[in-house]
Amino acid sequence: MSAADEHGATPVRGSIVACPDGPLLVRGDVPVVDDRGEPVVKRRATVALCRCGASAIKPWCDGSHKAIGFEAP
């Protein structure tokens, strides 16, 4: 297997960034599932998970943390 094939076959390592007073930015090969383990379809490569609880499109962020003045612990 060439280096290129290896690279192509290797999933992008996942990362989660906790944005100050904002959402959790999730990149890479991290499946998002609901409480029964069913996958929640990700419609983009990088997604933002709601952390303030006020989003109307949970599990995704919709910017509501700004409207409610959310402060991350």
Partner 1 sequence: MKSPQPRGPLGAAVLDALTAAAPRTDAPADDRLVQAARRAVEHSTDLLTDEDVQLTLFVLYELHYAGVEGVDEAWEWAPDLLRARAVLEEAFERELRHRVTVPDGVTADRRAVADTLFALTAPTPGPSLSRYVGRQATDEQLHELLVHRSLYQLKEADPHTWAVPRLAGAAKAALVEIQADEYGGGAPDRMHSALFARTMQGVGLEPTFGRYVEDVPAVTLAAVNAMSLLGLHRRLRGAIAGHLAAFEMTSSLPNRLYGDGFRRHGYGDDVTEYFDEHVEADAVHEQIAGRDLAGGLAEQEPELVPDILFGACVCLFLDDLVAAHLVGAWERGESSLRVAA
Is residue 51 within the footprint of partner 1 (CB under 8 A)?
Answer: no
Nearer to partner 1, 30 or 60 (CB): 60
CB of 37 to partner 1, least distance (A): 23
Is residue 72 within the footprint of partner 1 (CB under 8 A)?
Answer: no
Shortest CA distance to 45 belongs to which of 25, 22, 73? 25
Tokens (6 digits) for 60: 């995704």
Interface mask toward partner 1 for 6-45; x: CB under 8 A:
-----------x-xx-xx-x-----------------xxx
Torsion angle of alpha carbons 14, 15, 21, 22, nearest 10°? Answer: -30
- Asked whether the beta carbons of 46 and 67 are under 8 A apart, the reply is no
